[in-house]
Amino acid sequence: MLRRSLAAATATLTLWATTAVVVAAPQAAAQVDPVDVVVTLGPGASTTVAKTVTTPAIPPNPDLVFLADTTGSMGGAITDVRNNAGAVTSAVLDAQPTAQFAVSEYRDAEDAFVFRVNQNLTGDPAAVQNGINAWVAGGGGDIPEAAINALFEIGSGAIAFRPDGTRIVAWFGDAPSHDPSQGHTLAAAIAALQAADIRVIAVNVGPAGGGLDAGGQATAIVNATGGVLLNNVPSNQVAQAILDGIQAVQVTVTPTITACDPQLTLGFTPASRTVDSGDVAGFTETITVNPGTPAGTYHCTVDFLVDGTSRGFIEQNTVHVPGLSINDVTVDEGNAGTTPATFTVSLDRPSPSPVTVDFTTANGTAVAPGDYTATAGTVTFAPGETTKPVTVPVVGDTVDELNETFTVTLSAAGGAAITDAVGIGTIVDDDRDGVFSCRASALNVVGIEPVVANPANVPCVDDSETLAQAGLNAGALTVNAKVLSATTDQTPDDLTSAPPAAGDNATAKAKVDTTTISTLGLTIELGVIQAEAAVQCVPSGGGLAPQFSGSSTVASLKINGVPTTVGSAPVTIPLLIGSLKLNSTETTGTSVTQRAVVLDTLLTDVVIGEAHADIHGTGTHPNGNPCTS
């Protein structure tokens, strides 16, 4: 016997047919906020980020199965669903374009069929409509029907669900089910539904505790599958209730790390959250940089799975670990007091939090306190700062020595990693690597020199010597000279007072106004004789180098009364007793000697107007010279 008379069903058909489904505007797909997280952290540091995942109003990628009780009392409900099926599928497809639908129905054991699939899963709304149009109310002689069997069949493979679909059964009816039904118990049906990960929306065209939910069957099924139970649904509002139920299906959001650099650790509280479709799932994300992590940029990717399936709700985490470094510094030593050697400690990127690092000096070839002042402390970077100075006083002196080094070492960084821990301080010795020497002799006969400037030669000093007249004999050879002078000069006078500079020099000059040399059968008369030798610092190859020069002149020459033309050019004149050499220059790699007149005989040598200048290194720089430091 039908539970509702055909006349009664017909009487309400008009009302049902005029009831339309109210379709809300589709909500945007689920989104993660913030979707990209960029933070700056030091090793061992952590930060928390509030994350929200807005779930879609319709569960993603739904596989929706319409399951109808099509026994005789269900005519009004069937008509409502038939008339509004297009609105329901359109609303679902608008929100989730990948949705697919299936159509099925059940009656009871004594009817023409117990359960059948009218349309398997399809994305074609017309095919879905055709499947629903195949529903005809009939059969169902007693109150319980075969709903448990139908649910068991759907959970056991009657519908070809997609592997990545959200599986939903929209079940409506007005009567409870036999239990067992076709040999399947309520517990078996629930187990099959759970195994297939199917949610059940139960639309009870009857009161709570009665109709579809008599004995609590519907309540047990929806509770076990994470579904929704809607009670007291009028026959002309079943389609709307189905849509409302779909939008009320709960989804579980689970943040899952899919890729992460080993230097990072991510955690979420809670580990997962279950919300109604369309609601927001909130999480607290904790990002930790593991201790000892080097400076660099690291990444983690998080997929917020919905019901265990990736729906493209991806978050990208980027963590910058700042790097600390210290540069090398070169500083001139100076002659006295202290000179600051200023190092720069740098962060390779600004940090939103303070960064600290300790520093301390250590001896190298430079030794504190004689060469520098030992220094230690802590550098603090305020948020946004990227450079900080560290100053070490260097002690000046005038001792010629090799360049020396010390170190400044960074340690115990907070908020950053150290990339270059050691800064090398080089103390450049700016004292000269050598000295000038100089000497000037007006006359030299057999080693006798009546007028000599700076006879010690090394180092060069300012000196000036004069003599009105000198007469010297060497056997039969006699030398008479008038107005003899010799001078030496150095610029600067004190080489330790200033670093090398272009123009620094040592100069020697010798002069004799008149000279007569006599021996048996030979008389040599000479006018003004002058000789000069110099060494000077000149630019060379980016620095300074010594340059040597020598010159001399002989104003006039007579040999036995016969004039001979001379000047500044080198000349050698042969004589019976030897040779007479004029304006000779002798240059080596470290010296210059200028001789204006040299009489070379077998018995003796006479030198008139000799000037000499040279350079010498120091014990520290044996190959050095005063033009370098």
Give SS3 for 220.
helix
Bridge-based pairing of strands 422-428 and 329-332 is parallel
- Find, among 311, 400, 447, the residue nearest to 30 by Cα: 311
Question: Which residues are CB-neighbours of 1 under 8 A, at least 6 positions away?
Answer: 141, 142
Instruction: For residue 195, count CB atoms less than 10 angstroms from its CB and return exposed for 0-12, middle for 13-18, buried for 19 or more.
Output: exposed
Looking at residue 569, its pLDDT comes to 93
Which numeric CATH code is attached to 34-55+251-321?
2.60.40.10
Instruction: For residue 567, count CB atoms less than 10 angstroms from its CB and return exposed for 0-12, middle for 13-18, buried for 19 or more.
Output: exposed
Looking at residue 3, its pLDDT comes to 30
Alpha-carbon gap, residue 629 to 627, rounded angstroms: 7
Can you spell out the DSSP letters for 151-211?
HHHIIIIIS---TTSEEEEEEEESS-B-SSBTTB-HHHHHHHHHHTTEEEEEEESS-TTSG
Alpha-carbon gap, residue 104 to 69, rounded angstroms: 9
Give yes or no for a cis peptide into 294 (omega within 30° of 0): no
Buried b / exposed e across 508-518, counting CB within 10 Å, b at 16+?
A: bbbbbbbbebe
Residue 298, CB-side half-sphere exposure with 13 Å CA sphere: 24
Residue 128 · residue 122 · CB < 8 Å: yes
What is the CB neighbour count within 10 angstroms for residue 256? 14
What is the CB neighbour count within 10 angstroms for residue 439? 26
Alpha-carbon gap, residue 369 to 363, rounded angstroms: 10
Instruction: Look at the alpha carbons of 567, 568, 573, 579 in this order and tell me if their dihedral is positive or negative.
Output: positive
190, two tokens: 């629930």
Alpha-carbon gap, residue 207 to 346, rounded angstroms: 74
Alpha-carbon gap, residue 161 to 155, rounded angstroms: 10
Looking at residue 15, its pLDDT comes to 29
Block means of pLDDT (10 residues each) for the chain, 629 residues, are 28 33 46 93 96 90 97 96 96 94 96 97 97 94 93 97 95 96 98 97 92 95 96 96 91 95 97 92 97 97 92 93 98 90 97 96 97 97 97 89 94 97 93 93 96 97 97 93 98 89 97 95 96 97 95 96 92 93 97 97 92 93 91
H or E stretch at 248: helix 238-248
Question: Which residues are CB-neighbours of 356 under 8 A, at least 6 positions away?
Answer: 378, 379, 380, 381, 412, 413, 414, 415
- Find, among 62, 86, 92, 67, the residue nearest to 77 by Cα: 67
Distances (CA, A) of 582 to 292, 553, 571, 599, 608: 81, 8, 5, 9, 10
Could you say which architecture CATH assigns to the domain 6-28+60-248?
A: 3-Layer(aba) Sandwich (3.40)
Task: Specify the DSSP class assigned to residue 369.
Answer: T
Q: Is the pTM of this model over 0.85?
A: no
Query: What are the residue boundaries of the structural domains of the chain, listed by start?
Result: 6-28+60-248, 34-55+251-321, 323-428, 434-617
Q: How far is CA 456 from the centre of its chain?
A: 64
H or E stretch at 240: helix 238-248
- Find, among 205, 138, 217, the residue nearest to 172 by Cα: 205
Task: Specify the DSSP class assigned to residue 466.
Answer: E
Q: State the greatest distance between any 2 C-alpha atoms of the chain, in Å, as a whole number.
A: 174
Residue 18, CB-side half-sphere exposure with 13 Å CA sphere: 3
Looking at residue 397, its pLDDT comes to 84
Looking at residue 7, its pLDDT comes to 28
Looking at residue 27, its pLDDT comes to 45
Residue reference for tokens 């006359």: 443
Residue 157 zone, left/alpha/beta (φ > 0; ψ -120 to 50; rest):
left
Residues comprising the chain, all counted: 629
Alpha-carbon gap, residue 600 to 571, rounded angstroms: 13
CA-based R_g, the chain, Å: 55
Q: Do domains 34-55+251-321 and 323-428 have the same CATH topology?
A: yes
Looking at residue 30, its pLDDT comes to 52
Alpha-carbon gap, residue 13 to 16, rounded angstroms: 5
Domain 323-428 has CATH 2.60.40.2030: yes
119, two tokens: 């349309």
Residue 605, CB-side half-sphere exposure with 13 Å CA sphere: 10
Task: Quickly list H helices, 349-483.
Answer: none
Residue 493 · residue 462 · CB < 8 Å: yes
